[in-house]
Structure 1
């Protein structure tokens, strides 16, 4: 044997080894899902070859018949799942079956805890693809021949952390997965068990699933595309299993949209919103979950123009009547008919979401927690649906723990309030404690707590809602004129400082801080804290600046403005000191410390951590009489 034909042994990546350990020793409550996973993969392989054979007819099987065979062998105690689909090369076998990201289980590894009980529950939440074969089997063999290739290859493993690849014999393209069953798994040799499980999980699959017993061949599924049937003839269970098939996930669909469009462009769509967020939702390499068919022929699951990126949580099928079969994926994206389907499908989905939000606000809040950050991308990207998306927007606010719509926010604005106030950050709970909110909270003004990275960007694209401008509470001077305090502030003992003396302290701050700040001014927004940072009215929001710098999109930011609360006891004490001889040198470190305190509160990195520590230590020593 040559080096290329001799059997070669490989080691699974660590995450796969962990998953295989779970499968090999599994007492999983629904072990039958392995058959659903393997049949689903076989069906996908047939769909892919059927599409490729449009351009290369010689690759199609005899008479163009695609099917999935289930072959139990009681004598050998094996169950084989075979298809005549696209097949795999040697390299694909190693890549697709050797790493967790390629096996239909991407993202699963990140959730593994090391606790077998918890990790087994995860199997019930996410599809586990090919590796589910090790639930009933102690050895798995895969023989595959790629369409158009002359050689076949065998992949085999006992689930012990290693697998082997060697040359094999197979007359036609396709893949056969043979499960060598564990001693207690004889039920998978029974025709009745196989028929029941296929009926339960895979009846919707449009490719025939055939039970092969010697010369006897029995069709186990209806083998008609589910989306072509009338809605009244489809049960909730059938919709659920089809969702699990196309989404490669467990769980229930949160929303099911099944509709047919007739007229200028004819198509059928069956789309699902999952109840759980896919683990790879923010992965740039994530494939769109909506498959494109033309007259029941699978075309692609990678047509980026079919649904907008901000609806990438959708899974399902769009079946068009009028598209040509032989268009490339690249041409499809710019095809006017595809663009028309995209526009109409988007409108239908947003309409359904609006209906759900109006009729079932609690259920919609659960959806928003999962997918709100993605949907907000559309406000920035999709001018045509911006108004609809703003209507669907939900935000945390300073008024409470729940989500609030912009319509509700505007409806309860104060009579003198002119703007929709917001604050940007990384965590809503932390934002609610920001010192910049004090003056707004004291006046009973509600502020949106925006903690998603995309918030910085959609606000630039949508500067207003219902005639009200969005206004950051951390940018520019806070104009709260005409907005009375909800209750009288706690009086600070002693006479309030004179304006001239406050101006003297401000001058000392400016002198001490130099070019670290654009300005130091008296604050209208602080009631309890001594100081805070805000952005200049002409500059970027401080949070947006930090994010752009972190992503190397901004080299030099603008200087912040330091605001001081002249009513705060600490500032009053500093005002008194500022009028004394030699105050500039005595207060220099204090001015620096208060600026650094404001930086820490705002999440800004300190330029001189060692200097800060030294100044803080000196201040503590002075305070303790040291």
Structure 2
């Protein structure tokens, strides 16, 4: 068929009226009222069906070239008529006989494809995965149309074997359809939609082209629309009588990597991600095996606007045989990789009746797992070979990636290796230290990975909990993101080395030598009376008071026992409006500090004030808030002037 040719049909007798199968009536009711959440996908479904018909003809004609009837150039045409209120989608594919029309359009889920598959064997079975179904997606036409006409003729049959199928809704319901004979010179199918009044906004070239770009850009076959030019005299667009292709007609991801330039990859990213910038990196691969799929995925340079939305609107697009199905990263990738953009094109995923939601299937789980590993592999390569690019990625998406520690148990170790930190060994404030870097610098005999959580980097660097570690030259990771308190609860060890917070009890500190441990035990005995007096004065605020092994400069600090909630996490939960359990920390005191000596030599109210001051200083150093700031200031003033 030439671009400017039209299908010629001859009027025929009224035909016969047949009842819909009961399931079809139910399906139509569901379609019209609630099945499809987005009415614009009717065009996707009809173009998909037209593409399927072309695919099927191409397959059949491989062994029976006569089916082409002298024209092997397969296309899809989309047209509209504002005056008549119609949209027409036409193909020159395999077409249907009268029997197939009744089976396919009057009986649910009977597309003829199953019977088609039964006739295949060997390599042909694999090739046939490209052939889709002319299934129930057809009924999506009734979302926007109150009357639908289908005119078709099967390839290889004479012109008088054409068939016309008509159905009109009555009060949003339909119980029957009409089938009539039709003389049709051209093979293939055309579907004519008589639009409802509320759907007439689809009657424009701009609107239809927009939908084609959105849903069917990478359909293999050319999609043609009437060419229009601006008529200055009339002040409107007029048709030139020619047709022009409005889709690319080829799927970039389906081409060999050697045939695609970097600029083509970048341009496709801009299209699929709606981003004017270049991508940071990309991954293009074809996966073969039990489940076959092709992926083309990108890492953006900057965070998408909806990165922190519960349900991001732009993610990885899913195609099945080059037909767009859904845009939902969470179904194809875990939530912590929601920044990834691109496409996945699967060959054999099952679809449910609307194509809007995938059925729960092991195939989907397998594909999701495979894609996840490949994205993490891309990040590993970036971290190893292009550290500057990885630093850009981490600055933008590091907090999101940390979510994977708790969400993805199977890949926890891989994700942990990708984490980056500031540490007490860092020269600057940029997070460049990996856990592997930390392990490589561990002191002889050190068996634990130490970290400190704080509200800010400055607070972490000046924490009294670091004093012993600085003295011993033991590196400590400084964690200042709110999510750090969360993921450290899931990553309890890395490469066999436990992760331990320096704010935990003294039993967790392996940096002490025997002499230091003996000194602490001796101090506990020597100052037992003062320690008990402090415990009594601070009853209800602290669980216990004991000599500190970790303090070298500060007078006191607060620690929690192993398994208890840290004070930092408690503050985060309370700031988020969540109820946090009560935490009674242990007050550790530096018995060699002058403030402790002043407290020990005091009596009565003066001792109570020194005890309160030691506690409040420790709380402030911890990043906590005082219950009575004004009272703290007065107390300090009184003790200073003595």
The alpha carbon displacement at 1:172 in A equals 7.1
Contact 1:147 1:173 in 2 (8 A): no
* Distance (whole Å) between structure 2 residues aligned to residue 499 and residue 621 of structure 1: 29
Farther off after superposition, 422-431 or 336-345: 422-431
Task: Tell which structure's C-alpha radius of gyration is larger.
Answer: 2
Matched, 1:422 2:451: yes
Q: Note if 1:465 corresponds to 2:494.
A: yes
Does structure 1 residue 476 correspond to structure 2 residue 505?
Answer: yes
1:620 aligns with 2:640: no
Deviations for 1:337-366, whole angstroms, at most 9, x for unmatched residues? Answer: 111111111111111211111112222122
Note if 1:212 corresponds to 2:205: no
TM-score (norm 1): 0.64
- How far the C-alpha of 1:549 sits from its partner, in A, is 3.6
- Aligned partner (choices 515, 524, 537) of residue 540 of structure 2: 515
- State whether structure 2 residue 262 is matched by structure 1 residue 227: no
Match of 1:438 among 464, 467, 477: 467
Q: Distance in 2 between matches of 1:296 and 1:442?
A: 62
Equivalent residue, structure 1, for 2:402:
376
Structure 2 Cα separation of the partners of residues 334 and 203 of structure 1: 27
8 Å contact kept, 1:423–1:450 = yes
* Distance in 2 of aligned mates of 1:403 and 1:566: 37
User: 1:524 pairs with 541, 544, 549, which one?
Assistant: 549
Instruction: Classify the secondary structure of the residue corresponding to 1:421.
Output: strand
Judging changes above 3 Å, is the alpha-carbon distance between structure 1 residues 361 and 327 closer, same or farther for their aligned structure 2 residues?
Answer: farther
The residue aligned with 1:588 is 608
Matches within 5 A, 1:70-219: 148=144, 173=202, 208=223, 212-213=228-229, 214-215=239-240, 216-219=242-245
Stretches of structure 1 lacking an aligned partner (at least 5 in a row): 1-44, 70-82, 86-144, 152-166, 179-198, 489-496
What is the distance in 2 between the residues matched to 1:47 and 1:223? 21
Maintained 8 Å contact 1:424/1:543: yes
Confirm or deny: 8 A CA contact 1:354 1:392 kept in the other structure: yes
Q: Is the 8 A contact 1:416 1:482 kept in 2?
A: no
Structure 2 residue 414 is the aligned partner of structure 1 residue 388: yes
Quote the offset at 1:482 in angstroms. 5.4
Larger displacement relative to structure 2 (167-176 or 554-563): 167-176
Paired with 1:329 and 1:569, the residues of 2 have a C-alpha distance of 74
Count how many residue pairs are aligned between Structure 1 and Structure 2: 452
Calculate the TM-score normalised by the size of structure 2: 0.63
Q: How does 1:176-575 map to 2 (within 5 A)?
A: 208=223, 212-213=228-229, 214-215=239-240, 216-219=242-245, 222-287=248-313, 289-302=315-328, 304-327=330-353, 332=358, 334-400=360-426, 401=428, 402-477=431-506, 479-480=508-509, 483=512, 502-551=527-576, 553-575=578-600
Q: 1:330 to 1:235 in 2, by over 3 A?
A: closer
The answer to whether the Cα contact below 8 Å between 2:330 and 2:338 also exists between their aligned partners in 1 is: no
> In structure 2, do the counterparts of structure 1 residues 204 and 408 end up closer, same or farther at CA, with 3 Å as the change threshold?
same
Question: How big is each residue's C-alpha offset from its partner over 1:89-146, in whole Å with a ceiling of 9 and x where there is no partner?
Answer: xxxxxxxxxxxxxxxxxxxxxxxxxxxxxxxxxxxxxxxxxxxxxxxxxxxxxxxx99
Distance in 2, matches of 1:552 and 1:333, equals: 38
Structure 1 residue 175: Cα displacement: 5.7
- Structure 2 CA distance for partners of 1:481 and 1:309, relative to 1, 3 Å: closer
Contact 2:451/2:478 (8 A) holds in 1: yes
Q: Give the root-mean-square deviation of aligned CA atoms.
A: 3.9
User: Is the alpha carbon distance of 1:280 and 1:209 closer, same or farther for their aligned partners in structure 2, counting shifts above 3 Å?
Assistant: farther
Larger displacement relative to structure 2 (418-427 or 208-217):
208-217
| Residue in structure 2 matched with residue 196 of structure 1 by the alignment | none
Residues 287 and 513 (structure 1 numbering): CA distance in 2 closer, same or farther, change over 3 Å? same
SS of 2:330's equivalent in the other structure is: coil
CA gap of 1:175–1:256, structure 2 versus 1, over 3 A, is farther
How many Å apart are 1:451 and its aligned residue? Answer: 2.2
Give how far 1:176 is off. Answer: 6.1
SS in 2 for 1:316: strand
Rounded to whole Å, the distance in 2 between the matches of 1:84 and 1:270 is 33
Distance 1:482 1:468 in 2: 15
Q: Which moved more, 1:551-560 or 1:334-343?
A: 551-560
Name the CA distance, whole Å, in 1 between partners of 2:396 and 2:219.
29
Question: How far apart are 1:427 and its partner, in Å?
Answer: 2.7
CA distances 1:171-221 after superposition (whole Å, capped 9, x unpaired): 57356669xxxxxxxxxxxxxxxxxxxx9xx99897858652241444476
1 CA distance for matches of 2:636 and 2:200?
84
Task: Indicate conservation of the 8 Å contact 1:393/1:406, yes or no.
Answer: yes
